[in-house]
Amino acid sequence: MKRHILAAALAALPMALCAQTALDAYSVGQSELRGTARFMSMGGAFTALGGDLSTLGQNPGGIGIYRNSEIGATLGIDIQSVTSKAQGYSENERQTKAACNNFGYVGAVSLNNSVMPFFQWGVSYGRAASFNRRYRGAIPSLNGSLTNYVAGYTAAEGWTPAELNGYAEDYNPFQDSYAPWMSILMYNAYGINPGTDASTDYQGLYNGNAGTATFDVVEQGYVDEYNINFGGNIMNMVYWGMGFGITDIEYTNSTYYGEAFNDATIPAKTGQGRTSGSAALGYESWKHIYGTGFNFKIGAIIKPVNELRIGVAVHTPTYYNLNYQGWAQTEFRCESGIMGYYPNTSTTGSTEDWFSWKYRTPWRLMAGVAGVIGKKSIISVDYEYRPYDQMQVLDDNGVKYDDVQGDIKTYYKNQSILRVGAEYRVTPNFSLRAGYSYMSSPFTQETYEGREMMYTSGPDDTETQPSFTMDNATHYVTCGLGYHYKWFYADAAYVWRHRESHWAAYTGYDGNPAPMATLTDNNSQIVLSLGFKF
């Protein structure tokens, strides 16, 4: 079992692989309450209202409301606060970022026709989601180990030390074997150890005596959408529209996870067999998902009487072509004097883990009703349905991964979104607004509570980030005000978001729950929109 832990590169050619997980599909398939200040201050309840630049990305039928052209832009400041808590220990991370939430243009052309009096077209940019989030914390009493999880399936699959050895001459296990990359990493960093050089009875560090763990996670990125819409109205009663959306995704996740045990199963100093002693393992992983997609939207708003509006809209799935990059590295120290640093050089230099894949988000169905009270008040209610269990993950040739599709059906369920908004015109130029939005969790209860086995290595066992995050319900409470004078308008909004999530260091195994922490987001946004109608 003599292995030399050196920071030396393994000479190998890059290898393009096709793999992806159900958890990564959800990570890049989310959206948030974002748009113009008026839209956000009313909780996004605009399916039946229209007449706002944000509706180009929500209900295209809203463009039919326009009788004048409009141009506008929206800026926002995000004040983010994330608290992680595990076994009574908590830490808080804060950060503030500014971004452009939305800008767009709508042109309205009079057709001088009683049946179809106006035709409208518009283009807009909108930030559909921001992935920026950082959280860190500690688990004071660790009753399990990432190394034991990896040791379990490495032994069950019968991988020999010779197949996992990363420093054998003219042999690169990452490219020359089909062994899971996590197994290769942990073997070469002394995280998993066999009884002899030839045996496959691997054991991890945890031997029944509790340890401690720390974690530090940085998520960054966004989903941006560019919309091109066309619409009109029929006899000022039916307002219709259709649109194409082009999306751009950037998502990165950098995670450090460390374990320490005062009494652990470690390799003997002689290099043969195992013994007990103190040990610590640090595991750093990184992944980057990026690419573009497109979707189609169609919608309508019906106004049977001036006081009532009914809206419906359907979005096709967004069809993505995506790329994945990833790497991981480990650091190991133990009482017996063996110290090692083993970078996964197959994922850091000329042979980083990378592949292309295709992804389809769930389709979206939304309906809304709005009431106009006199000329001063508006009350609007929306419902949206997203079947996350119908997401699809495909290889670069468009072939579905049956195993991943099975995971999607197991982990996810339908998501319901409720939006409520109100506006009151205090004076002819000044308005007050308020709203609320609720997004249910797309995860099944068993998954969210950690009672499902979660597969994170991909169909080819090459992905090397075992940790993941699962979101519970999200709540938005919003308010704002608006001012317009002749052709100019200025709107402001304040948006408070509350969300709880579970972070897991890895999946539970053999009835042993994984180390988990509860994350609480209490984030604030301050939004300002300026525009002209002409």
User: What is the SS3 string spanning 146-193?
Assistant: HHHHHHHHHHHHCCCHHHHCCCCCCCCHHHHCCCCHHHHHHHHCCCCE
Which helix H or strand E contains 518, and what residues bound it? strand 516-533
Whole-number pLDDT of residue 347: 32
According to the 3-state scheme, what is the secondary structure of 409-452?
HHHECEEEEEEEEEEEECCCCEEEEEEEEEECCCECHHHHCCCC
Residue 58 contacts residue 65 (beta carbons within 8 Å)? no
Separation between Cα atoms, residue 462 and residue 425, nearest integer Å: 58
Q: How far apart are the C-alpha atoms of 165 and 328, rounded to whole Å?
A: 17
Q: Does residue 431 lie within any of the structural domains? A: no
- How far apart are alpha carbons 183 and 203 in whole angstroms? 12
- In the chain, the amino acid numbered 524 is S
Q: Strands 377-387 and 364-373: what pairing? A: antiparallel
How many Å apart are CA 374 and CA 378, to the nearest integer? 9
Residue 380 included in any domain: no
Rounded distance, CA 119 to CA 231, Å? 6
Digit-by-digit pLDDT tens for the chain (534 residues) are 333 232 222 222 233 344 578 998 898 888 999 999 999 999 999 999 999 999 999 999 999 999 999 999 999 999 999 999 998 888 988 989 998 889 999 999 999 888 889 999 999 999 999 999 999 999 999 999 999 999 999 999 999 999 998 777 788 888 888 899 999 989 988 899 998 888 999 999 999 899 999 999 999 999 999 999 999 999 999 999 999 999 999 999 999 999 999 999 988 876 678 888 899 999 999 999 999 999 999 999 999 998 999 999 999 999 999 999 988 888 888 876 555 544 433 333 334 678 899 999 999 999 999 999 988 999 999 999 999 999 999 988 888 888 899 999 999 999 999 999 999 999 999 999 999 999 999 999 999 988 888 888 887 788 889 999 999 999 999 999 999 999 999 999 999 999 999 999 999 877 778 899 999 999 999 999 999 999
Identity of residue 412: Y
The verdict on residue 480 lying in a domain is: no
What is d(CA 502, CA 29) in angstroms, rounded to the nearest whole number? Answer: 18
In a domain, 385, yes or no: no
Contact by Cβ (8 Å): 403, 37: no
Please report whether residue 427 resides in a domain: no
Q: What is the pTM of this model?
A: 0.89
**What are phi and psi for residue 219, nearest 5 degrees?**
-105, 140
Query: Residue 78 has what DSSP assignment?
Result: E
197: containing domain = 22-136+145-366+393-412+443-473+488-533
Specify the pLDDT at position 65: 94
Number of domains in the chain: 1
3 domain-assigned: no
- Give the phi and the psi of residue 437 in degrees, each rounded to 5: -140, 140
Q: In this structure, is residue 450 part of a structural domain?
A: yes
Residues pairing with 511 in the sheet: none
User: In the numeric block, which tokens belong to residue 240?
Assistant: 């219709």
Determine the 3-state secondary structure of 347 from DSSP: helix
Question: Hey, is 132 helix, strand or coil?
Answer: coil
How far is it, in rounded angstroms, from Cα 361 to Cα 143?
37
Q: What residues are paired with 367 via a beta bridge?
A: 312, 383
217: in domain = yes
The reported pLDDT for the residue numbered 271 is: 66
**Spatial distance between the Cα atoms of 376 and 273, rounded to a whole number of angstroms:** 81
